[in-house]
Amino acid sequence: MIQTEALIIGAGPVGLFQAFQLGLQDIRCHVVDALPQVGGQCVELYAHKPIYDIPGIPFCTGQELIDQLLKQVKPFSPQFHLQELVSELKATEDGQWHVQTDKGTQFKAATVFIAAGVGAFVRRGLSLPGFEALLNQSIFHTAPHSSAFKDKHLLILGDADAALEACAQWREGEHAAASVTLIHRRDQFQAEPQAIEDMRQACAKHLMRFVAGQPTGLVQTQNQLTGLEILNAQGDTEVIPADAMLLCLGVSPKLGPISDWGLALERKQLPVNTETYATEARGVFAVGDINTYPGKKKLILCGFHEATLAAFGASALLRPDQKTLLQYTTTSTHLHKLLGVS
């Protein structure tokens, strides 16, 4: 059981800034996210796309914003628990919160901050018979290790940068697959132009191949993938031999277990008061896209504002005998000490 003053659910930009603001209040925290890396939507949906409305930053990509937020929060050393989905949130008799993840990690938290965006991002799979049994056996969302597909006949499914980057990674080099085949329903891609051109050149050089088609079935023998059945561009059924598959199909948000936690919901969002962005449950705050209130705008900068006031609210709740002071990072020696700049 991990005891903590604060637990943040969600490691997107608002969750990261929440950790920073808690740090300024001298509140240490743990952060849980279902994805294998921090960043939430910023990394999953627009890692390389421009953002123009962050105050003081005329332009940055989603990944660049996350990199800067990680650098900013580093002095406070938040503890990250990635690839873990919070499955349970229950009040304890002593007024704290018991939190458990799908991996069995348990927390006892004095305060909880739900920064889960529109819900947990879950990697898209295939709605085909036998998929679940083969997942993490011969079908993967990420390579389990650097030589996972060495000498394998590898299928890569997807149309975005991640899929084309995976093709480049596995078609050549020390740990190259025996063959690499990219599968997508049509010969159009949502990737950087240079990545698309590199893929086409690799196909022309017979370093890999691309097949347009829609997956219709998994072929397996004794719980081992042996091929993928597709409906090809000509409308014919075709089986492509393979003994490994890498899915680069992106993610989809799901409200998931949040609806089972007994918190008041309004159109799948958590109502909050705008003084501290607390929910109706004592000690539980909601910031970012997951919350709702009159005039709510789903913008990153609004989430930053919410996280700031939530941190002040948590400080007052955790230390009722101490006055929560407004201090400025420009002049406060106390904050300088916390930030490690004194």
Average pLDDT over residues 191-195: 91
Q: What is the pLDDT at residue 15?
A: 98
The larger pLDDT score, comparing residue 258 to residue 157, is at 157
Give the chain's count of helices (H) and strands (E): 8, 20
Tell which residue, 58, 107, 119, 148, has the closest CA to residue 258.
119
Average pLDDT over residues 306-323: 96
pLDDT in tens, 58-67: 999 999 999 9
Please tell me the least confidently modeled range out of 37-51, 89-103, 160-174, 180-194: 37-51
Q: Per-residue confidence at 255, pLDDT binned at 50, 70, 90? A: low
pLDDT over threshold 80, residue 118: no
What is the distance between the alpha carbons of residues 158 and 227, in angstroms, rounded to a whole number? 17
Give the CATH fold of the 126-249 domain: FAD/NAD(P)-binding domain (3.50.50)
Percent of the chain with pLDDT over 90: 81
Report the sign of the C-alpha dihedral through residues 248, 254, 260, 264, in that order.
positive
Each domain of the chain, given as residue ranges in start order, spans 2-122+252-339, 126-249
What is the distance between the alpha carbons of residues 140 and 125, in angstroms, rounded to a whole number? 9
Q: Per-residue confidence at 185, pLDDT binned at 50, 70, 90? A: very high
Three-state SS at 95: coil
pLDDT over threshold 90, residue 312: yes
* CB of 45 closer than 8 Å to CB of 300: no
Average pLDDT over residues 281-287: 97
Q: Per-residue confidence at 245, pLDDT binned at 50, 70, 90? A: very high
Angle at which helices 13-24 and 62-73 cross, to 10°: 20
- State whether CATH 3.30.70.1070 applies to domain 2-122+252-339: no
Residue 120: C-alpha distances to residues 76, 87, 149, 271 (Å)? 25, 11, 29, 18
Average pLDDT over residues 123-131: 91
Tell which residue, 160, 156, 158, 184, has the closest CA to residue 169.
156
pLDDT over threshold 80, residue 120: no
Give the DSSP H or E segment for 141.
none
Structure tokens at 57: 């930053």
Q: What is the pLDDT at residue 205?
A: 95
pLDDT over threshold 80, residue 276: yes
The owner of tokens 């409200």 is 255
pTM confidence score:
0.76
Bridge partner residues of 212 (DSSP) = 184
Average pLDDT over residues 101-110: 96
Structure tokens at 283: 């000690």
Q: What is the pLDDT at residue 243?
A: 93
Residue 144, judged by CB atoms within 10 A of its CB (0-12, 13-18, 19+), counts as: exposed
pLDDT over threshold 80, residue 342: no
Which letter does DSSP use for residue 78 in this model? P
Domains 2-122+252-339 and 126-249 share a fold: yes
Q: What is the pLDDT at residue 43?
A: 86
Percent of the chain with pLDDT over 70: 99
What is the distance between the alpha carbons of residues 212 and 7, in angstroms, rounded to a whole number? 45
What is the distance between the alpha carbons of residues 27 and 29, in angstroms, rounded to a whole number? 7
Structure tokens at 329: 């990072």
